[in-house]
Amino acid sequence: MPEQLTELKQTPLHALHQELGAKMVPFAGYSMPVQYPMGVMAEHLHTRADAGLFDVSHMGQVILTPTDGMAALEAGLEALMPIAVSGLAEGRQRYGMFTNADGGILDDLMFANRGDHLFVVVNAACKAADIAHMRAHLSDVAQVQPVTDRALLALQGPQAEKVLASLVPDIRAMRFMDVVSVDTVFGALWISRSGYTGEDGFEISIPAATAPDFARMLVDRPEVAPIGLGARDSLRLEAGLCLYGHDIDTTTSPVQAGLVWAIQKSRRAGGAREGGFPGAARILDELANGVAHQRVGLQPQTRAPMREGTQIWDAPEGGQTVGRVTSGGFGPSLGAPIAMGYVESGCAATGTELWGEVRGKRLPVTVCDLPFRPSTYKR
Amino acid sequence: MKYTEEHEWLRVEGDVVVVGITEHAAEQLGDVVFVELPEVEAQVVKGDEVCVIESVKAASDILAPVDGEIVEVNDVLSDNPGLVNEDPQGDAWFFKMKLDDLRVLEDFMTEDEYKEFLG
């Protein structure tokens, strides 16, 4: 067996994945289920119609405990992100991103105010770097504690509330991006009403020891199917959500990436806490003056998928390269290929007709609004 | 029926050979969402990329198993690529080829040999 495979980490649900017949693949240093016997297409559609259970235990869970009061921690975190941390109410979660001095994105993340501390969830591939980054910059204001004894599950889809409420009735009252901590027979569950599929649903941090029984109880429900990384990718693409390392990275700014909605007014020019984050000069300039390239939705006009890396042209022959696809595939809920990518801003208007080069042929593709499918969050 | 190491099946119908992909190949590909077929009357050489199959996961090619002429393609697959998963060794044939000499087919695996090849 290649050395790389023997060194892969396993999540607390590894045995359950195998029992459920998952096809396991290496992902961000972990052995993860890419699909179950149901298959990517059916898993995707099941999540949209009923509910899907995802193991996202590979993601980084980190607790930031203030050592000099919450206000100092919030200010410390605001020095790393163009996002308002101060003002986030207890029991609420927010989307953010660490930026670098060039205004690029180091990682995107979720953070929650849990009263006496902040709880942060970061991408698996960036976990070690994010923890080092927070330790380097927050050590004066917080203890940075990676949570290593918990699994993280996502239960997503229109039946998620009903299924989870049968075990934890309190969650019915939650709105999108609310967080609660609930004591159950499975131990303390840290639940947020959020996810990365465009569906209503929940993300559940649970003690590693009880996670397999909890997950088994969920997948035993007729409404719930286990869902692998394959369908997770097509679900988030239909929802127009960025995948770090593909749609966003250190070379893309939040403004180029179309994440302006995540930057509160207080951090923008004229705001109470304007700037003061890495890359502020570029990001504030882009907010004021626009960007040369930006992320857009791309709707291929033939049945051929346009995968990541597909070059986008402004003419069916000759012409110029005006962009490239950063995520592309097939949208099972749309029954058609879908993609997103970066194009020159002059070509970014909805309805602009462009051409993607697939196997040497330029095929028509139209700039479209994101998401491809309206989200069903419970606001 | 004969089988190639590229997981194609070949079935003789009169003087033409019908080509498709095996159940094993279809299962490995996952849900097929796009099929690009060759031009009828195209002259192909063994190893030419004659079809593209895209699944939800990735794109792959079907190679011409032998030299010959494409005489018919299964247009149904363009509109219903999912048929490749439903009936890979039946209705979801890809193309028919006319060979100069059908005896070249003797080189390919029998069903038992293919099963052994899969292990």
- Answer yes or no: do A303 and B59 touch at CB < 8 A: no
**Residue A91 located in a structural domain:** no
Query: Is residue A54 situated within a structural domain?
Result: yes
Window 62-81 of B, Cβ < 8 Å to A: 78, 81
Q: Are A226 and A34 in contact (CB under 8 A)?
A: no
Range of the domain at A166: 3-59+149-238
In a domain, A67, yes or no: no
Are residues A208 and A314 part of one domain? no
A 10 A CB-CB count for A302 gives 16
| Residues of chain A where predicted confidence (pLDDT) is lower than 70 | 1-6
Q: List, in order, residues 6 or more apart from A171 with CB less than 8 Å away.
A: A161, A164, A165, A180, A182, A191, A193, A202
The answer to whether B15 contacts chain A (CB < 8 Å) is no
Nearest Cβ partner of B59 from A40, A303, A307? Answer: A307
Give yes or no: residues A202 and A329 share one domain.
no
Is A46 inside any structural domain? yes
Phi, psi at residue A203, to the nearest 5°? -115, 130
Residue A92 belongs to a domain: no
Question: What was the pLDDT predicted at A328?
Answer: 97
A35, part of any domain = yes
Question: pLDDT tens across A176-188, in order?
Answer: 999 999 999 999 9
Contacts of B31 in chain A (CB under 8 A): 39-42, 330, 332
Residues 345-374 of A with CB under 8 A from B: 359
Whole-Å CA distances, A336 to A58, A179, A373, B11, B32: 30, 35, 12, 32, 12
Residues of A in contact with B57 (CB under 8 A): 40, 230
Residue A363 φ/ψ, nearest 5 degrees? -110, 145
> What single string gives the DSSP state of each residue in A321-341?
EEEEEEEEEEETTTTEEEEEE
Assess contact for A50 and A127: CB atoms under 8 A: no
In a domain, A8, yes or no: yes
Give residue limits of the domains in chain B.
2-104
> Which of A238, A266, A300 is where one domain is finished?
A238
Beta bridge partners of B73: B95
Please identify, among A205, A238, A271, the residue that sits at the C-terminal boundary of a domain: A238
- Tokens (6 digits) for A339: 């993609």
Average pLDDT over chain B, rounded to an integer: 95
Find the CB nearest A39 among B30, B36, B58.
Answer: B30
Q: Which residues of B touch A230 (CB under 8 A)?
A: 30, 56-57
- Residue A4, pLDDT score: 54
Residues 6+ apart with CB under 8 A from B56: A40, A41, A230, A234, A329, A330, A332, B30, B31, B33
CATH no. for residue A298?
2.40.30.110
Residues A210 and A315 in one domain: no
Confidence of residue B8 (pLDDT cuts 50, 70, 90): very high
Does the structural domain B2-104 have CATH classification 1.10.1060.10? no
- A296 and A379 part of one domain: yes
- ipTM > 0.95 for the complex: no
My answer on whether A157 and A54 are in the same domain is yes
The minimal CB distance from A41 to the residues B52, B54, B56 is found for B56
Q: What is the pLDDT of residue A1?
A: 43
Same domain, A55 and A158: yes
Structurally, chain A folds into a number of domains equal to 2
Mutate to test the interface with A, among B33, B34, B78, B79 (most CBs of A within 10 A): B33
Q: What is the pLDDT of residues B101-110, one digit of tens each?
A: 889 999 999 9
Alpha-carbon distances of A17 from A10, A32, A137, rounded to whole Å: 10, 8, 38
Contact B56 A40 (CB under 8 A): yes
A210 & A316 share domain? no
Residue B36 forms contact with A (CB below 8 Å): yes
- Under the banding of pLDDT at 50, 70 and 90, the label for residue B58 is confident
User: What local confidence, expressed as pLDDT, does residue B101 receive?
Assistant: 85
User: Which residue's structure tokens are 């042929």?
Assistant: A361
Nearest by CB: B56 against A234, A303, A304? A234
Select from A238, A256, A279 the last residue of a domain.
Answer: A238
Check residue A192 and give its pLDDT: 98
Q: How far is A305 from chain B (nearest CA, A)?
A: 7
Task: Say yes or no for a CB contact (<8 Å) between B33 and A359.
Answer: no
Q: Does B87 touch chain A (CB under 8 A)?
A: no
- How distant is the Cα of A264 from the closest Cα of chain B, in angstroms? 37
The CATH number of whichever domain residue A160 belongs to comes to 3.30.1360.120
